[in-house]
Amino acid sequence: MSQKPKDGIVADLTIANSVVNLIQGDIQEHLPMSHIPLAGDVLGLGTTTSIDNGELTFLRNRDNTTAIWRCIAHDGSIVRLSPGDGSSNFPYVCFTADATALRRPVQLSRLGAQEGRPLQELVEAAIKAGRQQGTLEDAPVYGVRLVAHWQELVITVASKLCMGQQRRNKGLVTSNANPATAERSIYDTLQHYRLSPLSQEDTNDPIQYLGRSMHWDCCGFFDTEPERGRVTVPQAGAHLHLHGCSTDLAYGGHLHHEHASSRLGALDSLVLYPLRTIQKLSSDLAIEQLRYDKGLIHFRAVNLGALDVNDVGISVVLDDSYSSHRYVRIPWMDAGGSEDFAVAWELTPGAHQIEVIADPEERVIEAARARENNRLQLKLVVP
């Protein structure tokens, strides 16, 4: 389904969580694939769950629809996804509605020589030229579709739990490859593959050789403010986040286009999409209808947000005694869902305070204002 901001207008770009959320270990929240419109030219990228972790690539079909392909970590292969196949809930995904009307093809001849140039440099030059010529509107984020031949290409694919286990402890993350930032070090942990026309003979090469498929169909985003971590790595200058599949549908993943070994041959096509309105989806847990009756504490847990959540805990605390609290765990709750609970607890005569707290460990990312409804108190006197 298309997502609508508060003014009722369909957003050009919808973000379920963000790249920075994912890097910090946000794997409790999910957007179902059924909520992503795939009619028309839909751009997007994302990742699947930590159980079967892999990159998502959005490719156009010949019938003017869009398909989502999952790039598999252990061998770089790809699988087309379908709702209900077990891989259709995404902890991070960003996507457009049908962006056909926003398509702005780039005249490649105006970019000059392409061979060996950094891909981000070419995309940035195309955006700058389009703005100057008046053929491309200003936008905070640009969608990108391109088909390219590569002389050599390094891709990465998220592997099981490689990101989620960091749990936002950025200060504890280190990397031998590049210890400068925690964000980059987590990307260093991803599975790397090398594609080249010739098989690599160097057995000491830490990058596994994958194959000879050098023609790639790619989709992604160019963020003018990458530091915000919306759709790309939250670092200055890291504007382009691109996923893709080889056109023979043999391999896929995150294009490590900035890697020293990645060398562009030539672009077959480049299309830009000015995405001017952005909506971010998030979770919003709440506790409602708290009451005490005949030895039972009754309450309702509600998911008021736009994302499904999993493995959420609820603490029931009596008289501020957290050491003797009762704990309830919810394996899964859909967006808009709710569940009623009754916790047995015989209260002694006198004044008491009951407090029920959803997600006391704050494992689910919510804005500060959204957390205000995560807890509910009840003061009562038992005769």
| Digit-coded pLDDT (tens) for 51-79 | 667 899 999 999 999 999 999 888 999 99
pLDDT in tens, 304-352: 999 999 999 999 999 999 989 999 999 999 999 999 999 999 999 999 9
**Averaged pLDDT, 180-204:** 68
Is the pLDDT at 173 greater than 70? The verdict is no
Res. 189 pLDDT band, cuts 50 70 90? low
Among candidate residues 213, 246, 280, the one where a domain is terminated: 280
What pLDDT, on a 0 to 100 scale, did the predictor assign at position 187?
59
Distance (Å, whole) CA 207 – CA 112: 31
290 with 276, same domain: the answer is no
109 with 253, same domain: the answer is yes
pLDDT in tens, 147-170: 999 999 999 997 644 444 444 444
46 with 156, same domain: the answer is yes
186 with 200, same domain: the answer is yes
Handedness of CA 209, 213, 215, 217 (dihedral sign): negative
Among candidate residues 255, 280, 305, the one where a domain is terminated: 280
79 with 118, same domain: the answer is yes
What pLDDT, on a 0 to 100 scale, did the predictor assign at position 26?
56
Contact 327, 372 (CB under 8 A): no
Mean pLDDT of all residues belonging to the chain: 87
Handedness of CA 83, 89, 92, 97 (dihedral sign): positive
Is the pLDDT at 48 greater than 80? The verdict is yes
* CATH number of the structural domain spanning residue 360: 2.60.40.10
Domain span holding position 367: 283-382
Is the pLDDT at 39 greater than 50? The verdict is yes
pLDDT, greater one: 102 or 7: 102
Distance (Å, whole) CA 200 – CA 103: 39
Strands 29-32 and 308-318: antiparallel
What pLDDT, on a 0 to 100 scale, did the predictor assign at position 206?
80
Is the residue at 2 inside a domain? Answer: no
Strand partners for 156: 192, 254
200 with 313, same domain: the answer is no
User: What pTM did the predictor assign?
Assistant: 0.87
219 with 253, same domain: the answer is yes
What pLDDT, on a 0 to 100 scale, did the predictor assign at position 23?
75
Res. 191 pLDDT band, cuts 50 70 90? confident
Is the residue at 5 inside a domain? Answer: no
**Averaged pLDDT, 293-298:** 96
Res. 121 pLDDT band, cuts 50 70 90? very high
249 with 370, same domain: the answer is no
pLDDT, greater one: 82 or 170: 82
Lowest mean pLDDT, pick from 18-22, 244-248, 290-294: 18-22
| Residue whose entry in the numeric block shows the structure tokens 């400068």 | 180
50 with 179, same domain: the answer is yes
186 with 39, same domain: the answer is yes
Is the pLDDT at 252 greater than 80? The verdict is yes
Among candidate residues 247, 280, 313, the one where a domain is terminated: 280
Q: How many domains does the chain have?
A: 2
What pLDDT, on a 0 to 100 scale, did the predictor assign at position 309?
93
What pLDDT, on a 0 to 100 scale, did the predictor assign at position 170?
42
364 with 271, same domain: the answer is no
